[in-house]
Amino acid sequence: MLGFDLTDEQRELKELAHKFAEQEIIPRAREYDDKEIFPVDVCEKAFAAGLMNFGVPKELGGPGLGVLDTCLIVEELNYGCSGISNAVGANDLATLPILIAGSDEQKRTYLGQLVKKLTFCAFAITEPGAGSDVAAMSTTYRREGDEFILNGTKHFISNGSRADWYVTFATSDKRLKHKGISCFVFPSSVSGITRNRMHGKLGQRAADTGEIFFEDVRIPASALVGREGEGFKYAMATFDHSRPEISAIAIGIAQRALDECLKYSKQRSAFGQPIANFQAIQFMMADMAIQIEAMRLLTYKAAWLVDRGEGANTISAYAKAFSADATMQITTDAVQIFGGYGYMKDYPVEKLMRDAKLLQIYEGTSQIQRVVIARNLLKG
């Protein structure tokens, strides 16, 4: 049986998130983007409204939502502004390795902390010399007695300059490639860490994107997440869970672009009539609607499979690649429909186009999604 009905609870969550976006996010979006203001105030309100840390299990005091429920909320928040929503939602990525492989103690300590008070955390895998090629990372760890010692640099990390704790990855020996990588969780207050906010992003400018330097960072053996040498596996499993959520961000941005175009095209006149009367404009909006519907179907199916614990590696990559690329096209067309005004900051669509670009880059570029898909196809 195939059904597309949302439960009452899912409908309520969607409405709550949409109202939050309208009331708390949209009014701040332009200024926070211009000035690169990290939206602590919005995060405080989101935290109070139960709109953060969705995956923290109920037994630890969290909402215990699955990926599908999370996607429904993420879509609505990102309708408001994906820069501000990155701040609200980036914790989720860091919680995943703990949920996947963390000990009960790590879950109690780190996930428990997230629901007690407003706390930020970050998932730090990317390095200046290793992005797509995760296994080429240079951050190292070595064991000394009951401690691990980390050295290296991570960059482009969401929440990187303000996280209260990090989930990060390091190698015991670069020659071992992915088999040498382990995953660690520890507070950002340990000594040996310096960090900066990186400025000058094209889009999602309210979000904190940081670089982190680990210099002889000593952490206890209990900071190891799961088993030594299995960090790469946990990182890839994390992306299977998180890619449908990136796809949901894309839906939020794309839906907003379409809604803005529907409104504007009825108001703007050319050649004595609203531009909405021109078939060229109608077709662009019809194509947007087709793509958005397809994005939703792919995203919800990927999320549903992840929630069922079924292999979602390929479909999560389908969803992320398709939605990111479609949203880039949709937001570019939105600027086109607005004409010269679309190119100006007084109107909302240039920001949507700038924000959308990131979807094709983080959590695996659009090319890397195709690498994953093609590899799985060829494996048969």
Ligand X SMILES: Cc1cc2nc3c(=O)[nH]c(=O)nc-3n(C[C@H](O)[C@H](O)[C@H](O)COP(=O)(O)OP(=O)(O)OC[C@H]3O[C@@H](n4cnc5c(N)ncnc54)[C@H](O)[C@@H]3O)c2cc1C
Enumerate binding residues for ligand X (CB under 6 A). Answer: 93, 123-126, 131-132, 156-158, 201, 204, 209, 358, 361-365, 367-368, 371
Q: Half-sphere exposure (CA, 13 Å, Cβ side) for 217?
A: 27
Contact 38, 162 (CB under 8 A): yes
Query: Distance (Å, rounded) from C-alpha 164 to C-alpha 152?
Result: 19
Both tokens assigned to 67? 């990926």
Nearer to ligand X, 178 or 301 (CB): 178
Q: How far is CA 211 from the centre of its chain?
A: 17
Other C-beta atoms closer than 10 Å to the C-beta of 345 total: 10
Nearer to ligand X, 96 or 257 (CB): 96
* Residue 238 CB contacts under 8 Å (≥ 6 apart), including other chains: 93, 96, 97, 100, 123
Contact 118, 43 (CB under 8 A): yes
Contact 370, 318 (CB under 8 A): no
Nearer to ligand X, 70 or 158 (CB): 158
Q: Half-sphere exposure (CA, 13 Å, Cβ side) for 242?
A: 23
Report in angstroms how near the CB of residue 241 gets to ligand X at its nearest.
Answer: 14
Q: Which residues are catalytic?
A: 363
Query: Distance (Å, rounded) from C-alpha 56 to C-alpha 66?
Result: 10
Report in angstroms how near the CB of residue 325 gets to ligand X at its nearest.
Answer: 12
Q: CB nearest ligand X: which residue?
A: 131
Instruction: Of 203, 126, 121, 206, give the one whose Cα is nearest residue 164.
Output: 121
Query: Distance (Å, rounded) from C-alpha 112 to C-alpha 106?
Result: 9
Instruction: Of 291, 109, 74, give the one whose Cα is nearest residue 185.
Output: 109
Query: Distance (Å, rounded) from C-alpha 344 to C-alpha 357?
Result: 17
Element (H, E) at 91: helix 91-101
DSSP secondary structure code for residue 127 in this structure: B
Nearer to ligand X, 288 or 321 (CB): 321
Nearer to ligand X, 205 or 296 (CB): 205
